[in-house]
Amino acid sequence: MFNLFAEGLHWTWLASAPPEWLVQLIHYLDDFIGILPPDSDPAPMLQLYLDLCWLLGLVDNTKKAAHGTCIECLGIEIDTLEMTARLPRAKILKGTRLVEDALTQGHLTQLETERITGFLGFCASVLPLGRTFLARLWNFHLSFKDPRAHRPLTIGAVRDLE
């Protein structure tokens, strides 16, 4: 239902935009990405979005608003000049900390294993080879009988983390 609402906003926005904008608008749930021609002014498109939000009684989350050739969207930095997608520095540091903490402890609970494999799986969206190195960590996760128990890391799980 939430996505249907965003879909309606998406098409209302495009129907209201002047054809000369040649805009590409993409949304994933409530995150919208508007792609404009080079050197175009994003202000009219942003104002149209804000006007639509006001008319529909929505509050815009301005802390997520960004424009330019390098933006963060859905937790990934997208750079249209370099044509790259990469992890923001904060996510790299978080991943490094999670892995170092797990290796230092030498044991994890099922929930801790879910958190680290989920986060590393997300990181693999821009580091595709990373996913192949999580198989033994997922196998470790599947071996839990009691979700509250602490289990020592297997050799395979340690190798995946390393």
Average pLDDT over residues 9-32: 71
Q: For residues 145 and 106, state if they share a domain.
A: yes
Task: Find the range with the poorest average confidence among 57-61, 67-71, 120-124, 134-138.
Answer: 57-61
Average pLDDT over residues 141-159: 92
Domain that holds residue 123: 89-161
Q: For residues 12 and 81, state if they share a domain.
A: yes
Amino acid at 146: D
Residue 81 phi, psi (nearest 5) = -80, -45
Average pLDDT over residues 96-117: 96
Cite the DSSP H helix spans in 17-87.
43-56
pLDDT at 22 over 60: no
Q: For residues 24 and 55, state if they share a domain.
A: yes
pLDDT at 45 over 90: no
Across the chain, what does the average pLDDT equal?
84
Amino acid at 19: P
Q: Which two tokens stand for residue 25?
A: 């608008």
Provide, rounded to the nearest whole percent, the portion of the chain with pLDDT above 90. 36
* pLDDT one-digit tens code per residue, 57-73: 877 777 777 777 888 88
pLDDT at 75 over 80: yes
Q: For residues 107 and 149, state if they share a domain.
A: yes
Q: Which of 42, 68, 86 is the last residue of a domain?
A: 86
pLDDT band at 130 (very low <50, low <70, confident <90, very high): low
Extended strands (E) in the chain? 24-28, 31-35, 70-73, 76-79, 84-86, 107-108, 151-152
Residue 114 has a CB neighbour count (10 Å cut-off) of: 15
Q: For residues 12 and 79, state if they share a domain.
A: yes
Cite the DSSP H helix spans in 29-105.
43-56, 89-105
The structure tokens 């999580």 sit at: 134
The per-residue pLDDT for 92 is: 94
The per-residue pLDDT for 99 is: 96
- CA 61, chain centre distance (Å): 16
Q: For residues 97 and 79, state if they share a domain.
A: no
Share in percent of the chain as helix, strand, coil (round to 5): 55, 15, 30
pLDDT: which is higher, 108 or 72 = 108
8 exposed, middle or buried (CB, 10 Å; 0-12, 13-18, 19+)? exposed
pLDDT: which is higher, 128 or 134 = 134
Are the C-beta atoms of 36 and 42 separated by less than 8 Å?
A: yes
Q: For residues 78 and 125, state if they share a domain.
A: no
* Among the listed residues 127, 126, 101, the one whose alpha carbon sits nearest the alpha carbon of residue 113: 101
The per-residue pLDDT for 3 is: 74
Specify the number of domains making up the chain: 2
Q: Which two tokens stand for residue 26?
A: 């993409």
